[in-house]
Amino acid sequence: MLGGAATAFVLASTLAACGGGGEDSATPVLNWYINPDSGGQATIAERCSEESDGAYRIAVSILPRESSAQREQLVRRLAANDASIDIVSLDPPYIPEFAQAGFLAPVPADLADRVTEGVVQSSIEGSTWNEELVTVPFWANTQLLWYRKSVAEAAGLDMTQPVTWEQIVQAAQDTGTIVSAQGRRAESLTVWFNALIESAGGSVIEENSTDPDQIQLGLTSPAGERAAEVMALVADSGVVGAAFSTSSEDTSATQFESEDGGFMVNWPFVWSRALSAVEAGTLDASVPDDYGWTIYPRVDAETPSAPPYGGINLGVGAFSDNVDLAYQATECITTDENQAEYMITNGNPASSVAVYDDPEVQEAFPMAATIRDSLELAAPRPQTPYYSEVSGGLQREYHPPSSASPETAQRAAELISAVLSGEQLL
């Protein structure tokens, strides 16, 4: 049904363009499959079509909202050698799978140099598989530690210095406020767990391989056990609010906007969300004024944290008839001007470092510098063609988060290994 809707959308937009523009019918149309946003990618597509001077025209098709559902649709189409997929907006964890399966056209070497210049490190890593750039970095996301200034002050917590999870929980307990994180059994749980284990100096995958039987997991390492410990500590602290085991990013944002809000780890969309709530009159203006932000909390006081990395990178379909034009288009889409405007209008942070010096960006996002610094520290989720197995296994065993323990690590490692070698269901 979604496919039908997407097709209808493509048809509609194609017809509209033909009717209004009076363009040459020979202009190649590039189909760009985008994740849903506030219309920013469609605007960029229009602008790049115009700037191409008739070389190409970009038509956008909207994918499902959940990133796992986006992957499911794209994988099925690409496995069937769908030539209509020219450009895709890809969530980074799925990029190795696409690259390994040969679904992405190789990035031209000269273009690879140009599109990685001045780009934050985590975004380059997220676009790379087997030491080769396979996608074009577009926008890069990271989670910050958000806090209510009044609460931090009341708890006597110095937020100019890095803080640990223990300190946050303690401060929330002292002030009777809520620590918001994502405990739902979904991708967000993997995001949280991965940030914890990376912050503790470990990795979910210690020895990577394209052979599923050769993948070595790091869950039972000291860092893995420490990650489980911190997860359970937060979940059991009594300050995570009711229904922690079903709380999502949106739940967290709502909690943080309420009068009980204290601390929260979340993506920067919460800022635009609060401002629009003020505009709509459903939130008091004093609430976002009380928002503070800093780098993601540490697991150990001495080790810098490794915040979650997300965002979208652009891949070019291997079966596209217009690979060269499509790569040309990705270069237009990811210019600094487009990234800056996309950040301001849609709230999605840029992957280009220079954008953060843009005064307009700094005005719209007072936390721009923090986002940039966080992106430099951020660690991608495990890069493997078997990502959905790894993430699914983590979600099965580490949910509910209050149950996380060293035994959980053992069970999860066994489950994921068995699933990877095809001996168990997930």
Binding site for another protein (CB under 8 A): 68, 72, 75-76, 79, 97, 100-101, 103, 184-186, 242-243, 245-246, 251, 254, 385, 388-389, 392, 399-400, 422-426
Minimum distance between the CB of residue 426 and another protein, rounded to whole angstroms? 6
Minimum distance between the CB of residue 133 and another protein, rounded to whole angstroms? 20
Judged by beta carbon, residue 74 or residue 120, the one nearer another protein is 74
Judged by beta carbon, residue 187 or residue 225, the one nearer another protein is 187
3-state DSSP assignment of residue 58: strand
Judged by beta carbon, residue 258 or residue 345, the one nearer another protein is 258
Judged by beta carbon, residue 24 or residue 213, the one nearer another protein is 213
Judged by beta carbon, residue 47 or residue 396, the one nearer another protein is 396
Contact 420/205 with Cβ under 8 angstroms? Answer: no
Residues 6+ apart with CB under 8 A from 164: 297, 298, 299, 300, 301
Q: How far apart are CA 229 and CA 223, in angstroms?
A: 10
CA torsion sign for 64, 145, 41, 310 is negative
Minimum distance between the CB of residue 241 and another protein, rounded to whole angstroms? 9
Strand ranges (DSSP E) for 170-267? 178-180, 205-207, 216-217, 261-266
CA torsion sign for 22, 5, 276, 378 is negative
Judged by beta carbon, residue 68 or residue 173, the one nearer another protein is 68
Minimum distance between the CB of residue 211 and another protein, rounded to whole angstroms? 10
Minimum distance between the CB of residue 381 and another protein, rounded to whole angstroms? 16
Contact 393/416 with Cβ under 8 angstroms? Answer: yes
Half-sphere exposure of 344 (CA within 13 A, CB side): 15
Minimum distance between the CB of residue 290 and another protein, rounded to whole angstroms? 21
Minimum distance between the CB of residue 43 and another protein, rounded to whole angstroms? 30
Q: How far apart are CA 317 and CA 32, in angstroms?
A: 10
Count of beta carbons in the 10 Å neighbourhood of residue 35: 18
**Position 172: which residue type?**
A
Judged by beta carbon, residue 78 or residue 340, the one nearer another protein is 78
